[in-house]
């Protein structure tokens, strides 16, 4: 990876999600590439390199999984909580193409982290909670898995295996040079060809269609996920061009989606009893609110 590729984050190939399906293999997927949006989110705080890469990976995963939601205004929330490591809290969410994320860390411990260290080294002991909120029905469902393995991508694969029983392959790459940072990811899943009166495909330990798709998807190279010269359509074509049919669909362009407005926080604060709001007010009679996602401090009349 050269600095030239990292600098070209204004390329139209960044901040996109592409959906694709391989119908004959009962497979679907998402591929995402982040550039300026990622840098905007990361710029809200000063993060050491390893910690910055952890948050970047989480944002890619949020875009990959959040873009699986079909309902407008549906939201995916990606949250890791832990103790004993450099990072004790990580929160990201995705809604309607909008991404935001924040990570809380111990600066001293974070500076000691080395590249390619395990989740346990970064987080200590903890768990990853993935929550889907469906706006249309109001339903919410959540899966929780331990923070174990080599990466957050591996933890997400475990989530799909344990909570949804859907074979899933995920690959994520993060590259940075100084303040510049780009990231990309690929998610591929094998889906049942029918739920009623048929054996669920994912109930089998092995299935030839999934083995085939996993081998093709697993051949993706790290550099390809972040290379602006290779657009997302070309990347999918490179992986699956031998298949009978591959369908692609560009999804909503990605943007930073912090919701820190006076109106938003005023509505939240209105849920607190008046006695509690009085105690929150400063000398000016306003309630200061510090947005962890973008570092703004808003003064709310409430």
pLDDT tens, residue by residue, 21-32: 999 999 999 999
pLDDT band at 206 (very low <50, low <70, confident <90, very high): low
In degrees rounded to 5, what are phi and psi of residue 231?
-75, 170
Adjacency order of strands within the sheet including 180-190 = 168-177, 180-190, 27-34, 16-22, 247-250
CA dihedral over 212, 78, 176, 20, signed as positive or negative: positive
Q: How confident is the model at residue 193 (pLDDT cuts 50, 70, 90)?
A: low
Mean pLDDT value of segment 150-159? 95
- In the structure, what pLDDT confidence band is assigned to residue 64 with cuts at 50, 70 and 90? very high
Helices then strands, each counted (H, E), the chain? 11, 13
Per-residue pLDDT of 74-83, as tens digits, reads 999 999 999 9
Q: Taking the alpha carbons of 53, 54, 58, 59 in that order, is the dihedral positive or negative?
A: negative
Closest CA to 91 of 33, 45, 137: 45
Query: Between these two residues, 163 and 128, which has the higher pLDDT value?
Result: 128
Tokens of 202: 């994912």
The number of beta carbons lying within 10 Å of the beta carbon of residue 23 is 12
Provide the pLDDT for residue 12.
60
Instruction: Look up the pTM and report it.
Output: 0.88
Question: What distance in Å separates the CA atoms of residue 42 and residue 299, rounded to the nearest whole number?
Answer: 24
- Separation of alpha carbons 212 and 92, rounded Å: 32
Looking at residue 292, what is its pLDDT? 79
What is the gyration radius of the CA atoms in the chain, in angstroms?
Answer: 20
Inter-residue contact 5 to 227 (CB < 8 Å): yes
């Amino acid at each position: 990876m050269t600095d030239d590729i990292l600098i070209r984050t204004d390329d139209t190939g960044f901040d996109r999600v592409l959906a694709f399906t391989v119908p004959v293999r009962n497979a679907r997927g998402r591929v995402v590439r982040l550039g300026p949006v990622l840098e905007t989110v990361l710029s809200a705080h000063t993060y050491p390199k390893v910690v910055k890469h952890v948050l970047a990976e989480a944002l890619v995963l949020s875009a990959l999984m959040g873009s699986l939601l079909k309902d407008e205004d549906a939201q995916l929330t990606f949250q890791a909580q832990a103790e004993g490591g450099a990072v004790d809290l990580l929160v990201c969410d995705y809604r309607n193409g909008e991404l935001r994320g924040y990570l809380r860390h111990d600066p001293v411990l974070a500076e000691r982290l080395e590249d390619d260290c395990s989740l346990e080294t970064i987080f200590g002991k903890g768990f990853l909670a993935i929550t889907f909120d469906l706006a249309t029905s109001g339903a919410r469902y959540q899966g929780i898995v331990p923070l174990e393995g080599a990466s957050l991508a591996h933890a997400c694969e475990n989530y799909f295996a344990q909570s949804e029983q859907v074979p899933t392959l995920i690959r994520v790459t993060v590259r940075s040079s100084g303040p510049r940072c780009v990231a990309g990811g690929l998610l591929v899943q094998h889906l049942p060809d029918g739920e009623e009166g048929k054996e669920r495909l994912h109930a089998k330990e092995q299935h030839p269609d999934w083995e085939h798709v996993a081998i093709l998807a697993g051949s993706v190279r790290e550099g390809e996920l972040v290379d602006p010269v290779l657009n997302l359509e070309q990347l999918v074509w490179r992986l699956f061009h031998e298949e009978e049919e591959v369908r692609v669909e560009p999804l909503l362009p990605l943007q930073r989606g912090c919701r820190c407005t006076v109106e938003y926080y005023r509505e939240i604060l209105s849920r607190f009893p008046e006695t509690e709001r009085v105690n929150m007010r400063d000398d000016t009679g306003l309630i200061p609110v510090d947005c962890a996602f973008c570092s703004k401090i808003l003064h709310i009349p409430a």
